[in-house]
Amino acid sequence: MKLANVRRPKSDNLPGVSGVGRLDRRTNRLAGRLHPGDIAIIDHVDLDRVAAESLVTAKVAGVVNAQPSISGRYPNLGPQLLVQNGIALLDNVGSEVFGAVNEGSRVRIEGDELYVGDRLVARGSAQTVETIDEQMAEAKLGLSTQLEAFAANTGEYMKLEGDLLLEGVGVPPVATKFEGRHVILVVRGYEYKADLASLKNYIREYRPLLVGVDGGADVLVDAGYRVDLIIGDMDAVSENALRTAKEVVVHAYPDGRAPGLARVQDMGVDVVTFPAAGTSEDIALLLADVNKAAVIVTVGTHVTLAEFLDRGRVGMASSFLTRLRVGGKLVDARSVSQLYRSRISAAALLVLVLAALVAIGVALAVSDSSHTYLDPLSREWHRFINRIQDFF
């Protein structure tokens, strides 16, 4: 008997979590359509932390995953983040859920079951802190296998894109002038909001080029910045960001196909295509490096081994090799923010200057000769204050 034909008796007091169901097989694309209290229905094996953070930020009430959120291949971090934030997680319900639930339908999670109204449409496994801890412990046992696969994928990528990686062959010409400039490259990834906020003083002083990778462009726009260049497959970038960016580069497959190209061209935006097998953040790094950027500061990108493995993609091998190629000019935003903590801020310097001037003023006020030049000093004081205000 099909689940869609099973009906549960009506009740005025149904336990569980209910909300408007919203569906997409791409979690990052779905995140932009979610509202607080929605039930997100996804198709995401080994749910990673970045995807989970987007669901937490959207304040969903529950997540229904057609796939196992933890397959056991490696200890991915997404499911743990969801349940720690009180979000119900129903796992491994099968891809049939996408045909059984319509976008915008009212759905309900009850234990291991998903309902549309009173109709049972899917069964899976309800996840809790305890069940996730058990699965994570088992997944850690397979970590060495993943490291071996990671090394093998690295070798395969080197064979496929060696010329691009070593010689820059295939990097398209762009209008953006990177040579000698500082560059901030933003990905909607790990701790991206806090890291970008920590760079406020750095951005004001160095005026770096601002590059958004896919949804990273909207991160920059939301923070009040003008994006110099957007690069990616364009599936998670708003129209506003695309229209206001100075230049757009569409990431294409090695054979030249670029699914996101038509969308941007239909908007009347001029684009450059960049065919490559790596990830969008990798080709953004290569683009800046080949064009002789002086420093590349990354926001939200992968830094640690755990973060690389958490993404669970074969393409992470390209990230590893790309970072080896870029080398010493690559700096993580967290390192930059640590360096800037030791600098004297403009506000502190202003307070110091004002304190010194006040001390001089008091000394003059109590001296016998103060009447001779106190008035001219007062006029100079006001001029100084006006200059300080204009500067800041």
Of 173, 168, 155, nearest to 318 by C-alpha is 155
Q: How many CA atoms lie within 13 A of 263 on its CB side?
A: 17
77, 48 in Cβ contact below 8 A?
yes
| Close Cβ partners of 374 (under 8 Å, ≥ 6 residues apart) | 364, 365
CA distances in angstroms from 287 to 42, 93, 271, 292, listed in the order given: 33, 41, 15, 9
What's the token pair of residue 120? 């049972």
Residue 169: predicted pLDDT: 87
pLDDT tens digits, one per residue of 201-232: 899 989 999 999 999 999 999 999 999 999 99
pLDDT tens digits, one per residue of 55-99: 999 999 999 999 999 988 878 889 999 999 999 999 999 999 999
The predicted model gives 257-265 an average pLDDT of 90
Q: How confident is the model at residue 356 (pLDDT cuts 50, 70, 90)?
A: low
pLDDT tens digits, one per residue of 43-67: 999 998 888 988 999 999 999 999 9
Q: How confident is the model at residue 40 (pLDDT cuts 50, 70, 90)?
A: very high
Minimum mean pLDDT range among 126-140, 150-164, 195-209, 321-335: 150-164
Look up residue 78 and give its amino acid.
Answer: G
Q: Encode burial over 74-102: b for 16+ CB neighbours within 10 A, e otherwise.
A: bbbbbbbbbbeeebbbbbbbeeebbebbe
Q: What is the DSSP string of 3-19?
A: GGGEEPPP-SS--SEEE
152 C-beta neighbours (distance < 10 Å), count? 12
The predicted model gives 304-326 an average pLDDT of 69
Q: Is the pLDDT assigned to residue 342 strictly greater than 50?
A: no
Looking at residue 327, the DSSP 8-state letter turns out to be: G
pTM of the model: 0.64
- Structure-model confidence comparison of residues 367 and 110, the more confident one: 110
Please give the Cα distance from 338 to 202 (Å, whole number).
Answer: 11
